[in-house]
Structure 1
Amino acid sequence: MSATETRAAPAILRTATGREATRWVAAHTRELPGLTTATVLTTVAGAALQVLPVFLLGQVVDGVVAGEAQSILVTIGALMVAAVLLGSGATAASTYLIGRLGAELLARLREAAVRAVLGMPSARIEQVGRGDVLSRVGDDVAVLSKGIRTAIPTVFSSGVLVAIATAGMFGLDWRLGLAGACALPAYALALRWYLPRSAPLYQRQREAQADRAQALISGLDGIGTVRAYRLEEAFREQVTRESWRVRDLGVEVFRFFGRFVGRENRAEFIGLVLIIVVGYVLLEADAVTLGEASVAPLLFHRLFNPLGAIMFTFDEAQKSGASLTRLVGVLSEAPEERLVGHTVVAAAGSYPVTVAGLTFGYPDSEQPVLREVDLAIPAGGSLALVGATGAGKTTLAALIAGIGTPQAGSVRIGSTDLAELDEAGARALVSILTQETHVFSGPLADDLRLAAPEATDAELMDALRTVGADTWVTALPDGLDTMVGEGGERLDGTKVAQIALARLVLGRAPVVVLDESTAEAGSQGAAELERAVSAACQGRTTLFVAHRLTQAMAADRIAVLDAGRVVEQGTHEELVAMGGRYADLWRAWREGNSS
């Protein structure tokens, strides 16, 4: 939709709950049983082998106290060395497998998220803004990828080590185990304080990064306008303001995490003191051996490293969790039938377009953009929309193209109501071409085949010939195989528009909507492009959003929009003779071009 037309403040894409994200991970983990099983087994084995030397050290203490032979001590020492070596190997294998499993899940999630975005209704993309979309399939994927390499393997393997060491303390004596478990309430209180506060904080940080991305994109996309109106300072201030907001949230996250670490240290102190006291009492009562009393605090102390690792990577894990919920949330934005790849072939022939009682407004807007619009374009005919900026032309063109759903009224292509179709079905009936034409990096032939993947080179050249582009394409260094777009052959506005029109020819949709599609070509190529537009639309039902009134003159009929209503309809001659709104526009346009 045009930025100049009334719209509500952009919403953001949905964010999944933690439970939904967990369900997604669990479901896809079950689809990789071999990798998942190997990951769990190596992680458990590595943790057990890391704890085993502590128990063997207790055996050494008891052996010395009991006056055991030196050979027993040598045997225990050899076992300790073997446990260390095997534990290192198992831990290394566990880290590799966790990373591999995470990478596989991330690849699936990234593919699903990109697929959902591509299949999302275009109106939804426009509503939320590209900053939010790009931050999810870009920044969030990067954050999650970093977490999979660092934080997630650490948290998982450390969590398993904590569980095994805790079980080991209970194995020594249940009272020693209980003494260590008395630290759990302090840990739980610390987590209970931290988790509910941290997730929203990380979410705010990610949203601030999305807002910063949107500010950057808006300024870069409109750099010409920014320079023309000398708005550089205003956009610089906006980007700076959003960047400071991201920085301030980062500082707040760091301070908050520091307070969490202090609470964790208190829990460790409580547990260690209780274990030493209970161990001393049990030793005095001959309830445990000196080796067992020595092993218990060592086991609890053995928890410090994994708990510390969890704490110091929890920050990254929380960021990864926030990014995971944002990516999983994207998956619920597009129902399955809207995803790309589902194509519908329209029946041959021309289709009339009928707009009846159409009313449309953006969410939370006070006034509708369009009010009770009635239009009819006969099969194979053409209609031009004209009107002042903000009259609703672009919004009406988008609705006729099946982008968005009116609050009242209908748009019918033949006998089909567009509201009953998914976007793939709408694209089979209607092609829309706007002034925001993009040429993708790669061979020119691939760019053209976006509209017709099975088209032959001969069919591509026929389409280019139709829009008058065959001469310059033939003159390219490698013809259709010439690299275009970023890093390739530089194409001016007229050539880019001709490529878009050639795609329109190849697409073969029976209805065509052109929203100021030649506005950026410049006056030098305007006449040439208007001829190309006429050739591309030959035999199709066509709606023009007219940027130049010469294009409106060429249409069978003209409709004048004012404040969201159709105020005049007729041919060019009829409307000029009426002396109304169109006549005023025509007079102003003619005087402007004659001066």
Structure 2
Amino acid sequence: MSATGTRAPSATLSTATAREATGWVGAHCRRAPWLTAFTVLTTVAGAALQVLPVLLLGRVVDGVAEGESSAVLVPVGAVMVAAALLGAAATALSTYLIGRLGADLLATLRESAVRAVLGMPSARVEQVGRGDVLSRVGDDVAVLSKGIRTAVPTVFSAGVLVVIATAGMFGLDWRLGLAGAGALPAYVFALRWYLPRSAPLYRKQRMAQADRAQALISGLNGIDTVRAYGLESTVREKVTRESWRVRELGVEVFRFFGRFVGRENRAEFIGLVLILVVGYALLEAGAATLGEVSAAPLMFHRLFTPLGAIMFTFDEAQKSGASLTRLVGVLKEPSEDRLVGDAAVTPPDRAPYPVTVKELTFSYPGDGEPVLWDVNLSIPAGGSLALVGATGAGKSTLAALIAGIGTPGAGSVHIGPYDLAALDEAEARALVSILTQETHVFSGRLSDDLRLAAPEADDARLRDALRTVGADGWAELLPDGLHTTVGEGGERLDVTKVTQIALARLVLTRSPVVVLDESTAEAGSEGAAELERAVRAACAGRTTLFVAHRLTQAMAADRIAVLDAGRVAEEGTHEELVALGGRYARLWRAWRQGSETDRHI
């Protein structure tokens, strides 16, 4: 909902389990078998070639100790150099291939997540809030993208190197291998302590960031409403509170990771001490050569770099894992099977329908108190009704329900002969068009942007729609007219022009009922009057419901309904409600005083 609405703060999109996320990644890798196989082969080859020089070093030490000639040792040294160079090349190729595979995975996941969000029922989007949706297709994609570029290649390559190096230690001498393996219990305990605690902590951090985004979006989208009702300090406190929550979780994550690093360092110390002690004992007993005993601690030390890389990138890997589970979770959300163009409901072109709201009660899932209580309203065919009331009164919730977004817990909403609860979203869109303050211009030609509402419309019909809302003047002055690229990368349009484009789309639709939820709230005072004229023109001959941001909008409506705590407190014309001296009259006096103050400033 907009800033004037109410939603259940606990409702969020689904989050996948670690097994489900891993299964999705595995399925993606199976769809690219050659790239996956070559990536694994180069990673293993690079790790083996990095370990080979350490093994050969033991051979050199034994050769020197036994007095072998340089003719024997020089070829060994040449092989060591060649192995190091080839290992570096294989590792570089492996890093590239992992990045390539990860980039393909991210592109597929991002497209699937966006497709899932676009196909999600509007009621679900409104329920969870745009902050959660945007944080997933925005922040989580960014986190996962960074992880794929940095953490994922490091962790995968380092993990393979750890396995190869451990096998190399056992290849030197099984007893030295067992000594090095003595550090494994300490590593395992450290990971068993860290992993079960870290994943929920990172998910909690991502959810906190989503809540912060929702608080920011709600406050900014409804900034004029916030100012009108003097709620600046309330909104600021909420944003501050959510920001501090994100900050505190960030500090907690950092401290937690520091404790994990300490446990890993203790494991390294235990392993190195065991290898030195066992190696000395074997050398004294003549059970191992000097080369083997010398190479073993170097081989174990060779583990320090990949293990350290894993530790210092595990933080990023865990964040990526948390974002992955959130993105894969979006794919589990139900979606609408049919598009608007598939709607079975086909009302007569521009024939207005009446709107009847009868004994409507609505609660968000997980909320005990209903947002709307026993609401009864009616708008005659072709008539208009304005909803006014304080923030949180339920205006946007009622507007969304009348637009077919959500299902009442009790009561009904009828558009003409149709009960909205019996229709799917495509059918509801054929009956009702909704326009909120969150208007948007997509990057591309102006004609394509307008045809989102009417794909079959020709240029003449597009120009008529622009003329209806008073946008034909500036549209004709564009470099290429209707074919001018607008939005990102094209002609930048101000708020008034963006809203006019949204209203022109509204003109192009065939829906007999229009719901406007503070659709002109973002316009400044200079463009407000112009847009209000455009709104009246776009809604002419259609049944219209306004969520009034400016009380001048309410004055222009046939009737006004005042909502208070989810109930209809007053209903009548502007003159009747002012004469009544109730809630609307007080709002009207406050509005006039505020307008006069603005004029004096």
Q: TM-score range by the shorter chain?
A: 0.7 to 0.9
Per mean C-alpha deviation after superposition, the further-off stretch among 79-88 and 136-145 is 136-145
Aligned 1:207-286 pairs, distance under 5 A = 207-224=207-224, 242-286=242-286
2:396 is matched by which residue type in structure 1? T
Q: Structure 1-normalised TM-score?
A: 0.84
Per mean C-alpha deviation after superposition, the further-off stretch among 94-103 and 24-33 is 24-33
Separation in 2, partners of 1:227, 1:14: 34
Aligned 1:509-520 pairs, distance under 5 A = 509-517=511-519
Residue by residue, what CA displacement relative to the aligned partner does 1:178-202 show, whole Å, maximum 9, x if unpaired?
2222211011111112222322333
Does the aligned pair in 1 maintain the 2:2–2:222 contact within 8 Å?
no
Residue by residue, what CA displacement relative to the aligned partner does 1:500-552 show, whole Å, maximum 9, x if unpaired?
22101222234322335456668887777666545534565544456788877
Aligned twin of 1:28: 28
Aligned twin of 1:505: 507
Aligned 1:546-585 pairs, distance under 5 A = 564-565=566-567
Does the aligned pair in 1 maintain the 2:347–2:511 contact within 8 Å?
no
| Structure 1 residues 319 and 386: CA distance shift in structure 2, 3 A | closer
Aligned twin of 1:303: 303
Does the aligned pair in 1 maintain the 2:4–2:222 contact within 8 Å?
no
Separation in 2, partners of 1:516, 1:327: 31
| Structure 1 residues 149 and 231: CA distance shift in structure 2, 3 A | same
| Structure 1 residues 557 and 261: CA distance shift in structure 2, 3 A | closer
Secondary structure at the residue paired with 2:162?
helix
Separation in 2, partners of 1:410, 1:302: 71
Aligned twin of 2:599: none
The aligned length equals 589
Secondary structure at the residue paired with 2:361?
strand
Does the aligned pair in 2 maintain the 1:115–1:340 contact within 8 Å?
no
Secondary structure at the residue paired with 2:336?
helix
Q: Which runs of 5+ in 2 are unaligned?
A: 597-601
Report the CA distance between 1:388 and its aligned residue.
3.9
1:335 and 2:337 matched: no
Corresponding residue to 1:466 among 459, 465, 468: 468
Report the CA distance between 1:161 and its aligned residue.
0.6
2:363 is matched by which residue type in structure 1? G
| Structure 1 residues 76 and 374: CA distance shift in structure 2, 3 A | same
Does the aligned pair in 1 maintain the 2:225–2:549 contact within 8 Å?
no
Per mean C-alpha deviation after superposition, the further-off stretch among 342-351 and 96-105 is 342-351
1:153 and 2:150 matched: no
Does the aligned pair in 2 maintain the 1:338–1:423 contact within 8 Å?
no
Aligned twin of 2:364: 362
1:384 is matched by which residue type in structure 2? L
Separation in 2, partners of 1:69, 1:588: 103
1:336 is matched by which residue type in structure 2? S
Report the CA distance between 1:29 and its aligned residue.
1.6
1:150 is matched by which residue type in structure 2? T
RMSD: 4.0
Report the CA distance between 1:458 and its aligned residue.
2.0
Does the aligned pair in 1 maintain the 2:340–2:429 contact within 8 Å?
no
Per mean C-alpha deviation after superposition, the further-off stretch among 398-407 and 315-324 is 315-324
Does the aligned pair in 2 maintain the 1:60–1:291 contact within 8 Å?
yes
1:536 and 2:538 matched: yes
Per mean C-alpha deviation after superposition, the further-off stretch among 26-35 and 464-473 is 464-473
Does the aligned pair in 2 maintain the 1:383–1:559 contact within 8 Å?
no
Residue by residue, what CA displacement relative to the aligned partner does 1:148-198 show, whole Å, maximum 9, x if unpaired?
111111110010011111122223333332222221101111111222232
Aligned 1:92-107 pairs, distance under 5 A = 92-107=92-107
Separation in 2, partners of 1:402, 1:511: 11
Aligned 1:14-93 pairs, distance under 5 A = 14-93=14-93
Does the aligned pair in 2 maintain the 1:385–1:561 contact within 8 Å?
no
Does the aligned pair in 2 maintain the 1:346–1:509 contact within 8 Å?
no
2:383 is matched by which residue type in structure 1? S
Residue by residue, what CA displacement relative to the aligned partner does 1:220-240 show, whole Å, maximum 9, x if unpaired?
445556677887777666655
Does the aligned pair in 2 maintain the 1:121–1:338 contact within 8 Å?
no
Residue by residue, what CA displacement relative to the aligned partner does 1:36-64 show, whole Å, maximum 9, x if unpaired?
11110000000011111122222223334
| Structure 1 residues 588 and 51: CA distance shift in structure 2, 3 A | closer
Does the aligned pair in 2 maintain the 1:463–1:502 contact within 8 Å?
yes
Secondary structure at the residue paired with 2:370?
coil
Report the CA distance between 1:489 and its aligned residue.
4.9
Secondary structure at the residue paired with 2:411?
strand
| Structure 1 residues 560 and 20: CA distance shift in structure 2, 3 A | same
Residue by residue, what CA displacement relative to the aligned partner does 1:537-570 show, whole Å, maximum 9, x if unpaired?
4565544456788877887877676654557889
| Structure 1 residues 277 and 541: CA distance shift in structure 2, 3 A | same
Aligned twin of 1:115: 115
Secondary structure at the residue paired with 2:99?
helix
Secondary structure at the residue paired with 2:457?
coil
Corresponding residue to 1:371 among 370, 373, 396: 373
Aligned twin of 2:383: 382
Aligned twin of 1:200: 200
Aligned 1:477-492 pairs, distance under 5 A = 477-482=479-484, 484=486, 488-491=491-494
Separation in 2, partners of 1:123, 1:479: 37
| Structure 1 residues 10 and 76: CA distance shift in structure 2, 3 A | same
Does the aligned pair in 1 maintain the 2:35–2:101 contact within 8 Å?
yes
Per mean C-alpha deviation after superposition, the further-off stretch among 85-94 and 235-244 is 235-244
1:432 and 2:441 matched: no
| Structure 1 residues 342 and 174: CA distance shift in structure 2, 3 A | farther
Does the aligned pair in 2 maintain the 1:116–1:339 contact within 8 Å?
no
Separation in 1, partners of 2:410, 2:257: 51
Secondary structure at the residue paired with 1:358?
strand
Does the aligned pair in 2 maintain the 1:549–1:586 contact within 8 Å?
no
Aligned twin of 1:292: 292
Separation in 2, partners of 1:267, 1:586: 71
Secondary structure at the residue paired with 2:514?
strand
Does the aligned pair in 2 maintain the 1:448–1:460 contact within 8 Å?
yes
Q: Which runs of 5+ in 1 are unaligned?
A: none
Secondary structure at the residue paired with 1:337?
coil
Aligned twin of 2:189: 189
Report the CA distance between 1:295 and its aligned residue.
2.8
Secondary structure at the residue paired with 1:513?
strand
Report the CA distance between 1:475 and its aligned residue.
4.0
1:22 is matched by which residue type in structure 2? T
Separation in 2, partners of 1:492, 1:80: 67
Q: Give the fraction of aligned pairs with identical amino acids, expressed as a percent.
A: 75
1:62 is matched by which residue type in structure 2? D
Does the aligned pair in 2 maintain the 1:120–1:339 contact within 8 Å?
no
Separation in 2, partners of 1:409, 1:402: 14
Separation in 1, partners of 2:588, 2:320: 58
Aligned twin of 1:347: 346
Per mean C-alpha deviation after superposition, the further-off stretch among 548-557 and 466-475 is 548-557
Separation in 2, partners of 1:308, 1:260: 12
| Structure 1 residues 540 and 57: CA distance shift in structure 2, 3 A | same
Residue by residue, what CA displacement relative to the aligned partner does 1:266-319 show, whole Å, maximum 9, x if unpaired?
211222222233334444454444333333322222111111111121122122
Per mean C-alpha deviation after superposition, the further-off stretch among 438-447 and 256-265 is 438-447
Does the aligned pair in 2 maintain the 1:530–1:551 contact within 8 Å?
yes
1:404 and 2:406 matched: yes
| Structure 1 residues 509 and 61: CA distance shift in structure 2, 3 A | same
Aligned 1:418-457 pairs, distance under 5 A = 418-440=420-442, 443-457=445-459
Does the aligned pair in 1 maintain the 2:385–2:545 contact within 8 Å?
yes
